[in-house]
Amino acid sequence: MRIEMWADVANPWTYVAAERLRTALATAGAGAGAGAGAGADADLAAEVVWRPLLTDPADPEAPRDALRLLLLAEEHGGVELQGRVAAELLASHDVRDRAELAAVAERAGFVNGANLLSSETAGHARLRELLLIGKARGITISPTVAVGEALLEFAMSPATIGEFLTAADEPDAARTLPEEVERLRWAEELIALSDPLGALVLLDPLLAEHAQDPNVRRVAASAYFASAQLGRARQVLEAMLADHPADSYARLMLGRTLERQGLADEAKTHLRMAVAMTPEFA
């Protein structure tokens, strides 16, 4: 079982949640805690991965560097190193201080942690992406424990956490979607949350690998339209219709895009065709 701990490490409840998760796992016999990488027995095998969450994203003093250190630890040493870094962060007196974070990395055995943290690029893109994924998934409360799609918010009792993990470990509950499908769905959620630029960040790898997929194109066009990148939206939609001229929704979107570009006559042609194919668009 893969357990995600979505948390703001500066939030005091994160320590409480981590200890209660540790107790729940120990009670289940997993032998893994919130600061551990993995543990297993016949009843429950658990791997705890830390994921970033900001209690107040607008706070200029939010502990972004601490969250970045966690992600860098996972990238360079796996969940075991990340777990040690998490344990040190939760025991730290100030997770916003760069010198203290360097000391945290050293105590956790993350030899290159301080150097990586001082980089202008290391971990920043991954942090931004995961914050967007958390937003798309509706994870807003720190801490939140996640197993697949199942979420348990706040620092619940060890018994409640244990019940949650047992239910989430059922075969039917453990089913997950392919990563590409999840990413596409998260992008759609961000558009619905009025964050089309964030949606485009999550779409970037899909556009690189699956640029011809009509579902990817459709969501990308929506994100471009919603972020007023009308030229790009038009380009994607025209390419879609060149390949699939009977796609009435793409034609509707193209008509609306042309309207916003001030091309009323061209827009009417596409809007009429869209309604002719799908009367519900009228």
Type of residue found at 81: L
Same domain, 157 and 207: no
Same domain, 16 and 145: yes
Which of 125-154 are b and which e, b meaning 16 or more Cβ less than 10 Å from the residue's Cβ? ebbebbbbbbbbbebebbbbbbbbeebbee
Which band of pLDDT confidence, cut at 50, 70 and 90, is reported for residue 34? very low
Residue 173 lies in a domain: no
Tens digit of each residue's pLDDT (9 = 90 or more) over 174-214: 567 799 999 999 999 999 999 999 999 999 999 999 999 99
* Angle (CA) 187 51 53, round 5°: 75
Residue 109 lies in a domain: yes
Same domain, 229 and 203: yes
Same domain, 163 and 183: no
Which residues, listed in sequence order, are joined to residue 2 by a DSSP beta bridge? 47
- CB contact set of 145 (below 8 Å; sequence gap of 6+): 3, 4, 5, 6, 17, 21, 151, 152, 161, 164
3-class state of residue 203 by DSSP = helix
Q: Which domain holds residue 99?
A: 2-168
- What is the reported pLDDT for 104? 98
Q: What is the CATH number of the domain that holds 68?
A: 3.40.30.10
Domain count, the chain: 2
3-state percent helix, strand, coil for the chain, nearest multiple of 5: 60, 10, 30
- What is the reported pLDDT for 173? 55
Residue 11 has pLDDT above 70, yes or no: yes
Residue 198 lies in a domain: yes
- What is the reported pLDDT for 174? 52
Same domain, 26 and 162: yes
- Average pLDDT in the 223-248 region? 97
Which of 187-203 are b and which e, b meaning 16 or more Cβ less than 10 Å from the residue's Cβ? bbbbbeeebbebbbbbb
Instruction: Note the pTM of the prediction, 2 decimals.
Output: 0.90
Residue 174 lies in a domain: no
Same domain, 161 and 240: no
Residue 32 lies in a domain: yes
**Alpha-carbon distances of 231 from 119, 216, 227, 259, 277, rounded to whole Å:** 35, 17, 11, 12, 25
Which band of pLDDT confidence, cut at 50, 70 and 90, is reported for residue 45? confident
Same domain, 57 and 154: yes
Q: List the one residue out of 89, 117, 100 whose CA is nearest residue 12.
A: 89
Same domain, 79 and 156: yes
Q: Give the percent of the chain with pLDDT over 70.
A: 93
Same domain, 148 and 214: no
Residue 265 lies in a domain: yes
Tens digit of each residue's pLDDT (9 = 90 or more) over 103-154: 999 999 999 999 999 998 999 999 999 999 999 999 999 999 999 999 999 9
Residue 86 lies in a domain: yes
- What is the reported pLDDT for 175? 61
Q: Which one of 135, 168, 201 terminates a domain?
A: 168
Same domain, 161 and 217: no
Q: What is the CATH number of the domain that holds 244?
A: 1.25.40.10
- What is the reported pLDDT for 248? 96
Residue 243 has pLDDT above 90, yes or no: yes
Residues 81 and 138: their CA atoms lie apart, in Å, by: 28
Please say whether the beta carbons of 185 and 178 come within 8 A: no
